[in-house]
Amino acid sequence: MGIFKPKGWLSEVTDLDKTEPRSYKESLLHPSWKQAMLEEYEALIRNNAALPQDRKGIGSKWVFRLKQTPSDEIARYKARLVAQGFNQDYGIDYFETFNPVVKPTIIQLILSIALSQN
């Protein structure tokens, strides 16, 4: 006997207030998701995320997430436009693959070491 994982089938849910859209078209049907997409677009414009003229663009995709409070209430609708990085070539489209992320536990560890070493 082999080990298997039963497949779970999701029912079609039309209440976009409590679910994450699966496509761009689906997100346009709900004002809160539309607003989240607009905020992401405006943030990209503010950060000058423009394509240099000598570069060819790669595809992108919208990713949607519901941010919830500990009591499972909706805190905010979050939409991100992400690049399809698998189409990039090292040295042409990008030069570094490291994205530094600092977590609070790392900061606490470094400060603890600094205090112990005076």
pLDDT of 31 reads: 93
Residues 9-50 have pLDDT tens digits of 444 444 556 789 988 899 999 999 999 999 999 998 888 877
Residue 112: is its pLDDT beyond 70? Answer: yes
Give the pLDDT of residue 12.
43
Residue 1 has pLDDT above 60, yes or no: no
Mean pLDDT in residue range 79-86:
82
Q: What confidence tier does 57 reach under pLDDT thresholds 50, 70, 90?
A: confident
Boundaries of every domain in the chain: 14-94
pLDDT tier, 115 (very low <50, low <70, confident <90, very high otherwise): very high
Nearest to 37 by CA among 6, 60, 15: 60
pLDDT digits (tens, 9 = 90+) for 86-103: 666 666 666 665 566 788
Question: What does the pLDDT read at residue 14?
Answer: 47
Pick the residue with more confidence: 40 or 55? 40
